[in-house]
Amino acid sequence: MVSVIITTYNRRAFLREAVLSALGQSYGDTEVTVIDDGSQDGSFDVVRDLPIRYEWKENGGVSSARNLGIALARGEYLSFLDVDDLWKPEKLAVQLAQMEAEGYAVSYTDEIWLKDGRWLNQKKRHRKYSGSIYERCLPLCIISPSSAMIEKKVFDEVGLFDESLPVCEDYDMWLRISSQYPVLFVSLPLIVKRGGHADQLSRAFEAMDKYRIKALLKILDSGVLNDLRSRRTRAELRKKCMIVGRGAQKRGKTEEAAYYLSFTHGPDE
């Protein structure tokens, strides 16, 4: 069974279409659970007639919503779907078949980007890879949660989503996963990512690198990295701290600048 976890918060306009894209999968052995992170817009009304499990909770952020979904899931595999994204009908079937054929516990797919109603081309820095991809995940998050399929047992080893991170929680998770598991890239565009909404988290938080820095410090402190990966992680940490520290200097935030720039000293890789 594949447990599909859809998280939503005041996205009534997107919810039904997302749920229908999950229910319309050609792979039949699924359960679909919507975790509503405290919506007040009547979201449940648009899906009350559909064969899904719907759980409303007090607002706690996307990580807490995904974590509740993981706790409730009965499937061997988990797939996440953010409410403003859509799946192609063959997404789960193709992905699961390739994972089982090649012996992977974690996979992700290519994607189609749609922003403000316009199709976008992915940039070179968003290129995706298979195998041992930890170093590829250091600059930025190349794995969309909506594209991922993960054996549930993986979370027993790497832990759940970090509820202290309001954004970049996916960057943190993929660092932890890719540091311990090879990851399969399914090179077919099986999801549609719809962006450009005024209330997207990425628009609500400035200096996203601050939260990536927290994730890098966490993984360095975890003890799971070998010497080479530790050096490369520290090199990436220095880059991000330099950017954030110089930005703080320009804004006259002396103490903040000193904190981030203190991480920029040390030998290169």
Residue 118 pLDDT exceeds 90: no
Residue 120 pLDDT exceeds 80: no
pTM score: 0.92
- pLDDT-derived band at 114 (thresholds 50, 70, 90) equals confident
pLDDT score, position 203: 45
pLDDT score, position 199: 54
pLDDT of 195-224, one tens digit each? 754 555 544 445 799 999 999 999 999 999
Residue 130 vs residue 194, higher pLDDT: 130
Residue ranges of domains in the chain, CATH in brackets: 2-203 (3.90.550.10), 209-261 (no CATH)
pLDDT score, position 257: 96
Instruction: Report the C-alpha gap between 166 and 162 in whole angstroms.
Output: 9
Tell me the average pLDDT across 104-129: 83
Is 260 buried (19+), middle (13-18) or exposed (0-12) by CB count in 10 A?
buried
